[in-house]
Amino acid sequence: MIELIDKEIIYSETYGFVQKTDERLADFMKESGLKVISELRRNTIAYQILEKHNHSKNPAQMQLVFDSLASHDITYVGIIQSASASGMKEFPVPYTLTNCHNSLCAVGGTINEDDHVFGLSAAKKYGGIYVPANLAVIHQFEREMMAACGSMILGSDSHTRYGALGTLGIGEGGPELVKQLLQKTYDIDAPKVVLVYLENKPNPWVGPQDVAIALIKAVFPTGFVKNKILEFAGPGIQYLPMDFRNGIDVMTTETACLSSIWQTDESVKTYFELHGRPEAYRPLHPENYAYYDSMVHIDLSKIEPMIALPFHPSNGYTIRELLENPGDILRSVETESEKIFGKASILKLTDKIHDGRILADQAIIAGCAGGMFDNLCAAADILDHGIVGNDYFSMSVYPASMPINAALTENGVMLRLQKSGVVTKMPFCGPCFGAGDIPANNGFSIRHTTRNFPNRDGSKPDQGQVTGVALMDARSIAATAANSGYITSAADMDIEYKSYPYHFDSEIYRKRVYCGFKKPQKDVELRYSPNITPWPEMYPLAENLLLVLAAVIRDPVTTTDELIPSGETSSYRSNPVKLADFTLSRRVPEYVNRAKKIRDLESERRKGSKLLKFEEFLDKLNHPNGANNLNTAIGSVIFANKPGDGSAREQAASSQKVLGGLANIAYEYATKRYRSNCINWGIIPFTIDPEEPFEYQPGDKIFIPGIRKAIAGGIESIPAKIITGSGIKDILLHLKGLTREEREIIISGSLINFYARKK
């Protein structure tokens, strides 16, 4: 089904795949005059695009400028505030502001709509593109209106993926968009490229989520594609409609890759023509002798309907496997839930087994992964053979854009879904991050959305609530609904899938979307509200640091959803102080109070107060590096094995900083974007050696003398002391691969301070 080839691969039009040791390749190298085989990376689609956007003279370190930017209503307020405070006068490239996350407006009174009003005023003032609430989810609008072959888009959402349309999309935290708005560059080490070679044709009952889950299951656990670019090529692509390709592509975020790109063909050309943008198409394909660092080989004909059980998209099984052994497999999820939530809040999925079958409580098809035209048409074809029923099981669908909604209405698909018992709703990202359709306690929800992390659906374990989300393709979700909620593979349904014409109605956007690029109205005032508040003052890095452990998380991976919960907390993202109160609330509820007490000590120190215990502590250490009350800052620190999987949301880092956090310690960081978020908010992303046991507890202290000088000097291994109740121990902290600018940002205390200092 899926084969991982962890070897360097050369793709040749003449010879197919060859290893770099193949004598034919040696002949080619000799003829071409190439001395370094990796130079052949330039023949990949990825590097054809990257090199056109790169402003660096150092081939190992890229400085990229993007063609356009995209944000939604959780992130654009802070980005625009930061860029404006740093000197931005107008948007230098097209910048799309969508309103698809906080569009429910059911939390906090006026605060969500206040953000939307701010967004429209910013689009007018600086020359942006404003997409009103319920018109489209961010990534569907970008597909329909902004993607173009050979372009690059940077988005403040981790699922910024438009590779199937020939666009390299990268999802990052807000500060990286601020840099682009200030006409700075996105700096990154030249990434490796993994060939994803697709062969054969998928079965008609298999959908894009099935392929995506199988891919994530294969590569995520070992980090096979972490921070690399996935390049999709091969004869299997011709059998995949555009919605199928887009559905796989958007889920590549869950592999932990940096980005994705696909070879383009007539289907892509037709897509752009249908959307009134034929000029956006050009053919993209690997050039002869393209070099890849490794390869993923997928036989599409062997992919089966899949299910990703809680609590990660990589926790995949074929539905056939699950139904053959439901007890043992679901008990393994219960065991995992006990590790996450504790014995008091175990998710009891074995209770869902009835006569050997598994009964779900809820089904949802939504968002940039699920709510596409083809998925909902296929669901309607299946549900013509059954009904949702009037028991506890329910099903809802959210088309990804109003043009899709209109096309489904024209074709009669929406009415057929409604007649089968499906509730149809407007475009909204809520089911993907916990701002809508939260299941009942101990509910089991099956979803064609992007993620199924713990509490990603909006439940609150700190209040005794526990739920579970499994990811499935729209086809198997519809098959399950047609069988009254009993988990059913679409392969078990004898269905004739119909072909439906798609008509894109551009008038829907033309009459509601504000398009102000290159037309800034500088006299327009930004519209603020009480909830939109500035960032609290952040201070430059001190000469020495005393860090106090405020949380120790020993899970194999910690998601950004655990660092800062999604769902209703998203409404407070324009109020950094209010939002910070939710930090780690569903994972380490004690963290906020601990961090605030540590922050209060630092506040007293900055006022010049003599902290008796602090002075005694420095005496005990004999004042290394001349440490005293004036040159030694006190801050909190979090330890986690591998933090930062999942969302690009910068608030996972900024909320720590608001609470006085000055560093994180980890064995590694799950994603580049989370590590970048830490740096941009002045949080030092330390690592420790893999063999170094971290056996310390909250309250233990870490003293780092000469930290400012070490970072300024580019020192990558920094000795420190850990002080516990049983004595003082040495520890070596690493800071590898920081660029000169990243070091300056940390020393400044944050990206905001860095730019303020430059003004």
Q: What is the DSSP string of 506-534?
A: THHHHTT-EE-TT---TTPPP---TT--P
Q: What span, in angstroms and rounded, lies between the C-alpha atoms of 327 and 91?
A: 55
Q: Is the dihedral of CA 298, 300, 302, 306 positive or negative?
A: positive
* Predicted pLDDT of residue 24: 66
User: 313 by DSSP, 3-state: which?
Assistant: coil
Domain with CATH 3.40.1060.10 in the chain: 2-60+191-302
Tokens in use for 616? 């005694």
Burial class (CB in 10 A: 0-12, 13-18, 19+), 515: middle
Q: Which helix (H) or strand (E) holds 396?
A: strand 394-397
| CB under 8 A, 24+ apart: contacts of 717-725 | 718/686, 721/621, 722/696, 723/617, 723/620, 724/696, 724/697, 724/700, 725/700
Q: What span, in angstroms and rounded, lies between the C-alpha atoms of 163 and 230?
A: 9
* Predicted pLDDT of residue 105: 64
pTM above 0.85, yes or no: yes
β-pairing, 717-724 with 727-734? antiparallel
Tokens in use for 333? 């999820």
For the chain, the farthest-separated pair of C-alpha atoms sits apart, in whole angstroms, at 79
CB 532 within 8 A of CB 135: no
CB 216 within 8 A of CB 314: yes
* Predicted pLDDT of residue 586: 81
Q: What span, in angstroms and rounded, lies between the C-alpha atoms of 215 and 255?
A: 8
The identity of residue 61, as a single letter, is: Q
16: how many CB neighbours lie within 10 A of its CB? 8
Burial class (CB in 10 A: 0-12, 13-18, 19+), 617: middle
203: how many CB neighbours lie within 10 A of its CB? 16
The listed CATH number (3.40.50.720, 2.120.10.30, 2.30.40.10, 3.40.1060.10) that belongs to domain 2-60+191-302: 3.40.1060.10
Domain with CATH 3.30.499.10 in the chain: 68-186, 307-493
- Token pair 């959803």 is found at 561
Could you give the C-alpha distances from 349 to 312, 326, 413, 486, 599, in angstroms and in order?
A: 16, 10, 33, 13, 41
388: CB partners within 8 A, 6+ apart:
394, 395, 420, 421, 422, 481, 484, 485
CB 173 within 8 A of CB 88: no
The identity of residue 56, as a single letter, is: S
700 alpha-carbon distance from chain centroid:
32
* Predicted pLDDT of residue 31: 67
Domain with CATH 3.20.19.10 in the chain: 544-758
Q: What span, in angstroms and rounded, lies between the C-alpha atoms of 46 and 43?
A: 8
β-pairing, 357-358 with 353-354? antiparallel
Closest CA to 171 of 185, 187, 155: 155
- Helix H segments across 195-347? 208-219, 242-250, 266-274, 319-324, 326-341
Closest CA to 315 of 298, 332, 327: 332
Q: Provide the CATH topology of domain 544-758.
A: Aconitase; domain 4 (3.20.19)
What is the Rg, in whole angstroms, of the alpha carbon atoms belonging to the chain? 26
**b/e burial code for range 569-580 (CB count within 10 A of at least 16 → b):** bbbbbbbbebbb
Which of the residues in the chain have pLDDT under 50? none
- Token pair 């793709």 is found at 11
Q: How many CA atoms lie within 13 A of 560 on its CB side?
A: 32
- Assign domain 307-493 to its CATH architecture: 2-Layer Sandwich (3.30)
Tokens in use for 537? 């003052």
Terminal CA-CA length for the chain: 56
597: CB partners within 8 A, 6+ apart:
none
The listed CATH number (3.90.1640.10, 1.20.1530.20, 1.10.3720.10, 3.30.499.10) that belongs to domain 68-186: 3.30.499.10
